[in-house]
Chains A and B, each alone.
Chain A
Amino acid sequence: DIQLTQSPSSVSASVGDRVTITCRASQDISRTLAWYRQIPGKAPNLLIYEASSLRIGVPSRFSGSGSGTDFTLTISSLQPEDFATYHCQQSNVSPLTFGGGTRVEIK
C-alpha cells in the first residue's frame, strides 16, 4: 500500500496567516492526489484534486502543487472556518489511502 505522510501533524496560526501543509508519498503517484478539509464534528470536504485542480466552489485562497512524491497545500490567508483538519489522499494505486491528517489550530 502507498503510505502518505503529512507534516506537520499540527500547526498553530492566526486569521490572515499563510499556512503550508505537505504530503509525502512512499512512491511516485504522479499527480493523483487530493486534499480535504474536515471541520470538527463534520464530514470531510473535497478542496483540490489532481494535485492542483480547485474543486468548483472552493475559495481561491486554497491552492495545491506537486507531483511524484511531494505535494503541498497552501492556504494564502487563513479564515475562521479553516481551523480544521486537512487530509491528503492518493488515487494512483488501490487501495486508495489517506494521510494521517494535519490539524490547523488557532494560535
Chain B
Amino acid sequence: EVQLVESGGGLVQPGGSLRLSCAASGFTFSSYWMTWVRQAPGKGLEWVANIMQDGSEKYYVDSVKGRFTISRDNAKNSLYLQMNSLRAEDTAVYYCVGAPNRYYFDYWGQGILVTVSS
C-alpha cells in the first residue's frame, strides 16, 4: 500500500522557518517525481514545487522562489520542504504528492497544516 506521511507542520511567526518532511513507502520512491501542493483554508489547490527523481531538476511557483527549497533523500525514501521567510499567505495544508511523471499527481499524503501568524 502506498503511504505518504507528512510531518513538521505547526504554528510559526511571520518571518520564521519550518521544515516539512514526507516519509514514503509502498512504491519505488526513487522512480517518482515528488511534489508539494498546498491548499489555503477554504481555497483551491496550488502547486508549490517539484523535484525530479534524482534531484537534478527542481521547479517552484514564483511566490515561493528564493524562500522555499525542495529536496529529497532517496536512500531514506523522504521528501523535504525547507520554508524560510514565511508569510501569512503561506498558511495552508501542505500535501506531499508522488507521480511517475511531472504532469499529474497520483499519490497524496494526508496533508499537514502550516499556520503563519503572530
Contacts and interface: CB of A to CB of B under 8 A. Distances in A.
Contacts of B104: 34, 46, 49, 89, 91
Contacts of B59: 94-95
Interface string A82-97: 0000010101001111
Given A43-B95, A43-B111, A95-B62, A89 B106 contact: no
B105 A46 contact: yes
Interface residues of A, number: 21
Given A43-B109, A45-B108, A46-B106, A89 B45 contact: yes
A107 to B, nearest CB: 22
B73 interface: no
Interface residues of B, number: 17
A98 B104 CA distance: 11
A78 to B, nearest CB: 22
A43 B110 contact: yes
Binding site of B, secondary structure by majority: helix, strand, loop or mixed? loop
Contact of B47 (A46, A97, A99, A100): A97
Contacts, number: 47
A1 to B, nearest CB: 8
A55 B61 CA distance: 26
A30 B14 CA distance: 40
Interface in A65-107: 87, 89, 91, 94-101
Contacts of B62: 95
B54 interface: no
Interface string B94-106: 0100000011111
Contacts of A89: 45, 104-105
B89 interface: no
